[in-house]
Structures are given as structure tokens and as C-alpha cells.
Amino acid sequence: MQEWSLSYKLGKGLRRLFRDKSGVMAFVGFAILLTYLIMAIFAPYLAPYDPVRRSGRAFSAPSKEHWFGTTNLGYDVLSRIIYGAKIALKIAFLAVAVAAAIGIPLGLISGYVGGAFDRILSMFMDAIYSFPGLILAIAIAAVLGPGVINVALSIAVIYAPTYFRVIRNQVASLKDQLFVEAARAMGARNFSILGRYILPNVLPSVIVVLSMNLADAIMTEAGLSFLGLGISPPTPDWGYDLSNGQRFLLLNYWWMILFPGLAIITIVLGFSLFSEGLNEFLNPNVGETRR
């Protein structure tokens, strides 16, 4: 009886998911992201060749031996795409995690404390936010140098103000609500109020911003690598492979730029669909306003 009840609830949940447009978008985006996540985790087992060793003739067109062709150095493009997912996701998740770890606590404290501390910190974050993201990332990456950690830190700096602004604005509007006043009257400490009463009410917005920033982080990382400021070659990286392939595009070696470009487009599309569907699911009024 219990198994039947669980199956019924699961089926009802799936019907609700596919009946709602936001649910379908989130599901499609999640499916795309899950595919790339599996590629990243099981890259040594899925890649047909070593991505940094010559596995065929240079500039080989797509064939049975090399589905996506080979590069100018004879590297298998498919293997580099699979291993490149690991690098891209590692940098994106690390960058967003660092940005959230900086922006969320500062936003909570700034919005709750207010006063001169809030004004000074807001001005500092607004100054960072006013810079074009890619240009600021290029400047920081040029100082720090190549490497997974350095690239992730350079990207994290440009996203920390986003979390700060979102959290700070919501905390400033929540701190005078009745449930917060009731917690103060019961003797709750400030950190307890922030952690138990305010933070749970702002987390839905954080989740949406996080998924959107992951898509931006993928593109920013690819842009840095394209400009030679990302991962050092011959490490598999989609941005570097795009930069390398565009040199030979006029020679009709189209596969060297097509497949890395498609990898970037599809993973960004997955993050975008997932964040858009999640946003409409968590904030139904957004979808109603657009319609």
C-alpha cells in the first residue's frame, strides 16, 4: 500500500512537471547539464583517446576512428570535448562557490546592520559591479596567471557583487517584518535571526542567481582561455580549442571550431533553461507577468 502511494505521488509530481512550461524548461536544462556532468565525471572511461597525445594524423576530418576529427597536432577532438567538460564545470562551480561565499555573508550583514557600514560596503560592491565583467576578469587573470584556481578566482570577483546586491536588498526589506520583530522580542540574537529567519527567505533567489552565474562563468572561462589567459595548453579546454581552431578555419578545417563551439552553446543553454524554469517555478508571478 505504501509503495502504491509513493508511485502515485511520483506520477502526480511528474504530470505536474510536464504540464507546466517552467517545469519542462527546468527538466530539459537539467537533462543537458546531467549529460555534461556525466561526461566530466567519467571522462577517462568515455573518451576514446588521451586528449593530450597524438592519436591520428593532423587535420583528420570526422570519421569512424575520430568522430569529431583531429586537431593540428593530431589530438582527438571528441576526447578533448569530453575532458574539457571537466575543466569547464570545475572552474564554473569553484568560481560561483567562492563568489557566493563572499557575497552572501556580506549581503546579510550589510542589509541587516545598515547605516554607514552598509553605505560604504554598497559603494565598494557597486564600484566592482560597474566594471564590464569580462574586462575585469581579463585584468585579474593577467595578474594572477593561468591555472584552474586563478581563473576561478578572477571570475569569482566579478560575481560576488551580484550575490551581495540580491541578498542585501532582500534583507533590508525583511529585517523590519513582524516575524523578525517577534524573534527579537523573544530574545533571539542577531546571528540567530539572520541564520534561522532571514536566510531561508532569501535562498530561493540565491539558487536562481547561482544557476544563471554558472552559465556566465562557462562563457567567461572560455573567453579567458580564448585570449590565452585561461588554462595552459595542451590541457583540454573549449576556449583554447576555439582559439586554436579559428586559425585554421579559412583552410576549411571546420570541425576544430564547430564542436568546441557547440559544447559551449549547449552547456550554457542547459544552465539558462534550468535557471529560467527554476525562476518561474519559484516565482510564479514572473511567468504570469510575461504572459
Which pLDDT does position 12 carry in this prediction?
52
Which pLDDT does position 68 carry in this prediction?
94
- Contact at 8 Å (CB) between 170 and 205? yes
Q: Evaluate if pTM is beyond 0.75.
A: yes
Grouped pLDDT means (10 residues each) for the chain, 291 residues: 47 53 78 93 93 90 92 93 93 93 90 86 88 86 88 92 89 78 75 78 80 89 89 89 88 91 93 80 52 45
Which pLDDT does position 135 carry in this prediction?
87
Which pLDDT does position 4 carry in this prediction?
47
Which residues, including other chains, have CB under 8 Å from residue 78's CB and lie 6 or more apart? Answer: 47, 48, 66, 67, 68, 259
Which pLDDT does position 222 carry in this prediction?
92
| Distance set, CA 98 to CA 18, 213, 280 (Å) | 34, 12, 26
Angle between the N-to-C axes of helices 238-246 and 255-282, in degrees from 0 to 180, rounded to the nearest 10 = 140
- Contact at 8 Å (CB) between 100 and 164? no
